[in-house]
């Protein structure tokens, strides 16, 4: 089978299903059908990427006569994690696809084991997690731009990982293996990389708002961009700057007083971040253990 033109069905017409369907199409694959719990969502996506729209509940309720799925190579399940297991149960019961059809899901926290009922019918299965953030309400053009050259964490049998690796490469993206037993730890890393970094920008925004300078996050954009770029290119330990790295005990004491006064709900986070920055500074031989103890003591209540 060539990767030049796979026939693909996407089930779950949310941000991930939409983004990946656009990516598949851009790289020459054919979207045979788009399924979603609501046929309205399925129709919306099929207008963008082609393929026959179908509502999964309807299809599971009666024979899917208008849908010819006999030549589908791959089904990509992009439903919420909590819905995967019941979707797989339904797919197993109705046997919509020939056994030659492969199945993947895109969850970062679940392993390929959730697809076991399909594997027991003879389908090849794997998990294929895009290491990217898919916020809602993004235009198709913007969504596609964020998917260029991304990485996909794969987990399944070695043979299936090899097949999905070739598929991912056909999308201009990078595959890598995630060991089954480490999947949740891998997902934790993704969560820090995305969600908690975004939450930290939320903290910057909140403090900036209280300054009433009326510029929102704009003055901080170059600082955030350069700091993250340095950390990603040169490594975080080499890129740390600021009062913890300078052993600036007095400034840190004043930060602590300011946070207690203006944003007491952020006090625990602030202390934890000072402590973590100091730990990384010691590890990277940027500050001594004595300096680390001094900066941590300076911010303790």
Ligand X SMILES: NC(=O)c1ccc[n+]([C@@H]2O[C@H](COP(=O)([O-])OP(=O)(O)OC[C@H]3O[C@@H](n4cnc5c(N)ncnc54)[C@H](OP(=O)(O)O)[C@@H]3O)[C@@H](O)[C@H]2O)c1
Binding positions for ligand X, rule: CB under 6 A: 11-17, 36-38, 41, 56, 78-81, 83, 87, 106-108, 129-130, 133-134
Closer CB to ligand X, 94 or 249, in the complex: 94
Closer CB to ligand X, 82 or 264, in the complex: 82
Q: Provide, rounded to whole angstroms, the least separation between the CB of residue 89 and ligand X.
A: 10
Q: How many CB atoms lie within 10 A of CB 240?
A: 19
Q: Which residues, 6 or more positions from 160, have their beta carbon under 8 angstroms from its beta carbon? A: 102, 112, 124, 125, 126
Closer CB to ligand X, 41 or 291, in the complex: 41
Fill in the DSSP letter of residue 7: E
Q: Provide, rounded to whole angstroms, the least separation between the CB of residue 131 and ligand X.
A: 7
Q: Provide, rounded to whole angstroms, the least separation between the CB of residue 175 and ligand X.
A: 15
The closest alpha carbon to 109, from 15, 186, 20, belongs to 186
Q: Taking CB positions, which residue lies at the least distance from ligand X?
A: 14
Q: Provide, rounded to whole angstroms, the least separation between the CB of residue 88 and ligand X.
A: 10
Closer CB to ligand X, 17 or 281, in the complex: 17
Supply 161's token pair.
Answer: 């990982």
- In angstroms, what CA-CA distances link 279 with 35, 169, 175, 194, 288? 48, 38, 32, 22, 10
Closer CB to ligand X, 80 or 98, in the complex: 80
Q: Provide, rounded to whole angstroms, the least separation between the CB of residue 82 and ligand X.
A: 8
Contacts 24+ apart (CB under 8 A), 79-86: 79/11, 79/12, 79/14, 79/37, 80/12, 80/14, 81/107, 81/109, 81/110, 83/12, 83/37, 84/110, 84/114, 85/114
Q: Provide, rounded to whole angstroms, the least separation between the CB of residue 190 and ligand X.
A: 8
**Residue 185 φ then ψ, to 5°:** -70, -40
Closer CB to ligand X, 36 or 46, in the complex: 36
């Amino acid at each position: 089978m060539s990767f030049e033109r796979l026939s693909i069905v996407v089930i779950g017409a949310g941000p991930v299903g939409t983004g990946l369907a656009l990516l598949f199409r851009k790289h020459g694959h054919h979207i045979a059908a788009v399924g979603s719990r609501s046929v309205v969502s399925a129709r919306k996506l099929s207008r963008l990427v082609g393929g026959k729209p179908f509502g999964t509940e309807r299809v599971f309720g009666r024979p899917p006569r208008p849908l010819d799925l006999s030549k589908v190579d791959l089904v990509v399940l992009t439903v919420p994690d909590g819905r995967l297991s019941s979707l797989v149960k339904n797919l197993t019961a109705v046997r919509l696809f020939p056994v030659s059809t492969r199945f993947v899901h895109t969850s970062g926290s679940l392993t390929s084991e959730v697809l076991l009922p399909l594997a027991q019918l003879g389908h090849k299965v794997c998990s294929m997690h895009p290491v990217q953030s898919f916020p809602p309400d993004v235009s198709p053009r913007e969504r596609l731009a964020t998917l260029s050259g991304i990485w996909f964490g794969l987990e399944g049998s070695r043979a299936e990982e090899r097949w999905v690796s070739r598929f991912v490469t056909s999308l201009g993206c990078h595959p890598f293996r995630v060991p089954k037993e480490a999947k949740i730890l891998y997902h934790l890393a993704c969560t820090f990389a995305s969600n908690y970094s975004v939450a930290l920008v939320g903290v910057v925004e909140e403090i900036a708002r209280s300054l009433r300078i009326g510029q929102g996050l704009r003055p901080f954009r170059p600082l955030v961009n350069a700091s993250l770029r340095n950390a990603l290119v040169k490594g975080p330990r080499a890129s740390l700057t600021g009062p913890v790295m300078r052993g600036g005990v007095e400034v840190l004491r004043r930060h602590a007083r300011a946070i207690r006064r203006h944003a007491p709900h952020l006090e625990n986070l602030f202390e934890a971040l000072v402590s973590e920055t100091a730990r990384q500074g010691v590890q990277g031989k940027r500050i001594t253990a004595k300096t680390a103890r001094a900066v941590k003591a300076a911010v303790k209540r």
